Amino acid sequence: MWLSFSDYKLGKMSCVVIRYTITLLVFQIITINAEWNTKDFQKREHSLTKPYQGSGFGVPNWDFQGSTMVTSSHIRLTPDQRSKQGALWNKIPCRVRNWEVQLNFKVTGTTRDLFGDGFVFWYTKERMEVGPVFGSRDFFSGLAIIGDTYSNHMARHNHQHPYMSAMVNNGSISYDHDRDGTDTMLGGCEVKFRNMQHETWIAIRYENDRLTLSHDLDDKRAWAPCFSMDNVKLPTGYYFGLSATTGDLSDAHDVISIKTYELDTAAGVPKEERPDIQPETEFVVKAHQEKKVDSDSLPMSGVKKFLIGLFVVLALVVVAVIAIMIYQNQQENNRKRFY
């Protein structure tokens, strides 16, 4: 069958349209994979992207602390120098029940084998408080996602560093640096994020009391799982933040962007605020119970023993004095009868 020129032209145009449609679909798929979170609503007040500078000095919605320095390409929490610590904190409390934070960061240094100390992503009641836990306070209330780059010799674990882990605290538990927080972590994984030439990401997702930590270490625009845990209770109204520190060993800890999303949750998933609950996991409850038992069963200190002994002696003296006085009164009454 012979085709006319118009039919040939029409067929060619159809092929072009089909090819264009396929190209557009592929582009949309790539875009969706690159964004990771197109169905969720980005919370601008809890996010931080370039350009960082607002009007005048500072960055809108964020406070800085310590050695933190803002550049055109990143926010450096610590330089690659010894004994530095820095932090940045969101000024606005997060009142969203279900959220996800995607953190784009870099940790770089000049040394190959010895480096430290690390950084922490925080969701806590307290903010802008300097302390010993990677630049922020100990006995915090909330969530810490810890990127620990230095392995301490007293730690009992089999993993290598850098290592990402999570800790939930209600203000009653101390982070043990000497053991790399092994006794208080909820879970974690090895993430070799140091000195990467491309962008590195972690995602902290909190949805329906389930905490999930993922990472994109290979710049594939796809999340690799680190760990996930159910029955994690976190209040609303806490603050997002980041802190980092160096000691005798050092690294540069850079924040490139923070993207915070309110999750588009399924029907039936609660969304209401709950500011009055305490941060809680099975580990926190168990630690609190063990601490109470230990405090009840602890032997008395020397000072406490002395005070109790002194009280007993004084009580015996008082009883003896009263007994003597009663005896003397009885003797006096007996003498009066004879007279």
Pairing status of strand 99-108 against strand 118-124: unpaired
Helices (H), 241-301: 282-297
Q: Distance between CA atoms of 78 and 73, rounded to whole angstroms?
A: 15
In a 3-state reduction of DSSP, which class is residue 41? strand
Specify the CATH number for the domain of residue 129. 2.60.120.200
Domain annotation covers residue 317:
no
Mean local confidence (pLDDT), 190-195: 92
**49-53 contacts at long range (C-beta below 8 A, 24 or more positions apart):** 49/257, 49/258, 49/259, 50/256, 50/257
Answer with the residue of higher pLDDT: 303 or 7: 303
Answer with the residue of higher pLDDT: 329 or 285: 329
Give per-residue pLDDT as tens, 220-241.
889 999 999 999 999 999 999 9
In terms of Cα–Cα distance, which of 49, 116, 123 is closest to 85?
A: 116
Number of domains in the chain: 1
The answer to whether 203 touches 91, Cβ cutoff 8 Å, is: no
Q: How confident is the model at residue 319 (pLDDT cuts 50, 70, 90)?
A: confident
Domain annotation covers residue 337:
no
The domain in which residue 161 lies consists of 39-290
Q: How confident is the model at residue 2 (pLDDT cuts 50, 70, 90)?
A: very low
Mean local confidence (pLDDT), 71-91: 96
What length is written for the chain? 339
Domain annotation covers residue 153:
yes
- The pLDDT of residue 254: 96
Give per-residue pLDDT as tens, 101-142.
999 999 999 988 888 899 999 999 999 999 999 999 999 999
If you average pLDDT over every residue of the chain, what do you get?
Answer: 82
Domain annotation covers residue 174:
yes
The answer to whether 78 touches 250, Cβ cutoff 8 Å, is: yes
- The pLDDT of residue 271: 82
Domain annotation covers residue 221:
yes
pTM for the structure as a whole? 0.74
Domain annotation covers residue 330:
no
Give per-residue pLDDT as tens, 9-51.
445 445 544 554 444 444 344 333 444 554 578 999 999 998 8
- The pLDDT of residue 54: 56
In terms of Cα–Cα distance, which of 66, 70, 71, 105 is closest to 86?
A: 66
Question: Is the pLDDT at 79 greater than 90, yes or no?
Answer: yes
Domain annotation covers residue 32:
no
Helices (H), the chain: 5-35, 282-297, 302-338
- The pLDDT of residue 290: 53
Domain annotation covers residue 128:
yes
